[in-house]
Chains A and B, each alone.
Chain A
Amino acid sequence: GAVVSQHPSRVICKSGTSVKIECRSLDFQATTMFWYRQFPKQSLMLMATSNEGSKATYEQGVEKDKFLINHASLTLSTLTVTSAHPEDSSFYICSANGNEKLFFGSGTQLSVL
């Protein structure tokens, strides 16, 4: 079946550095990709929606300059957490929509020291 690959699965970084998370659709073209954030024992909160070749649409309260999203191709979207701080530590999950189906990545646990 269709698979969405998300890398890295876990990343630890120093405060002030930037971290890039990749989300790839492996055997289908993802017209739309979504990025979610999940705090411990909390639900998933939609951060942004990205369509290939266009600017991402961010949810209210999400800093677009902080969380840079690029969806340059139909199989790849990236989320870059810029100048990460400890409060950015969270579980980030992407999902990809293609062929009228939705698939989730396995998530990235970001820890900012």
Chain B
Amino acid sequence: AQSVTQPDIHITVSEGASLELRCNYSYGATPYLFWYVQSPGQGLQLLLKYFSGDTLVQGIKGFEAEFKRSQSSFNLRKPSVHWSDAAEYFCAVGSGAGSYQLTFGKGTKLSVIP
């Protein structure tokens, strides 16, 4: 069965600083990987996804993520964080057969210091 680990429960960064949120996955085949952002009491917004091809994926709001098969990782990065980026971030993996049946990590809460 697939699984996702987000090691950091809560991260605090200063506005303008760089950000990296970690995600490790476990899946037997080539994974379909996603990063979502959730504001309190809201649904999910897709930041980016990886299905195949270039392992460095560009997403919305200046986010990017790099798929590293050797490390089973799909870390999310942003060079300069804005206060509006404060939210909960979820990494997810989809199975190949039903790629949109997602298994989510437990999430990382991002706080931004002005």
A34 at the B interface (CB under 8 A): yes
Q: Which residues of A contact B104 (CB under 8 A)?
A: 36, 43-45
Bound CA–CA A67/B26 (angstroms) = 29
In the assembled complex, B114 has its CB within 8 A of some CB on chain A: no
> Interface digits, B76-94 against A, CB 8 Å rule (1 contact, 0 not)?
0000000000000010000
Give Cα A91–Cα B41 distance, bound, in whole angstroms. Answer: 8
A78 CB-CB contact with B under 8 Å: no
Q: Are B44 and A93 in contact (CB under 8 A)?
A: yes
Q: B107 to A43, Cβ gap below 8 A?
A: yes
Chain A, 28-57, contact with B by CB distance < 8 Å: what is the 0/1 string?
000010101000001111100100000000
Contact with A along B22-46 (1 / 0, CB 8 A): 0000000000000010000111111
Within the complex, the shortest CB–CB distance from B94 to chain A, in Å, comes to 8
Q: Which residues of B contact A91 (CB under 8 A)?
A: 41
Q: Is B75 an interface residue (CB 8 A)?
A: no
Which of B42, B100, B107 has the most chain A CB atoms inside 10 A of its CB? B100
Q: How far is the CA of A44 from the CA of B101 in the complex (A)?
A: 12
Contact B106 A49 (CB under 8 A): no
Residue in A32, A42, A97, A104 whose beta carbon sits within 8 Å of that of B44 in the complex: A104
Flag whether B19 is at the interface (Cβ < 8 A): no
Question: With the chains together, A93 CA to B42 CA distance in Å?
Answer: 9
A-B contact pairs, 24 of them (CB 8 A): A6-B43, A32-B100, A34-B102, A36-B104, A42-B106, A42-B107, A43-B90, A43-B104, A43-B106, A45-B104, A49-B101, A91-B41, A93-B44, A95-B102, A102-B46, A102-B100, A102-B102, A104-B36, A104-B43, A104-B44, A104-B46, A106-B42, A106-B43, A107-B42
Contacts from A to B (Cβ < 8 Å): 6, 32, 34, 36, 42-46, 49, 91, 93, 95, 97, 102, 104-107, 109
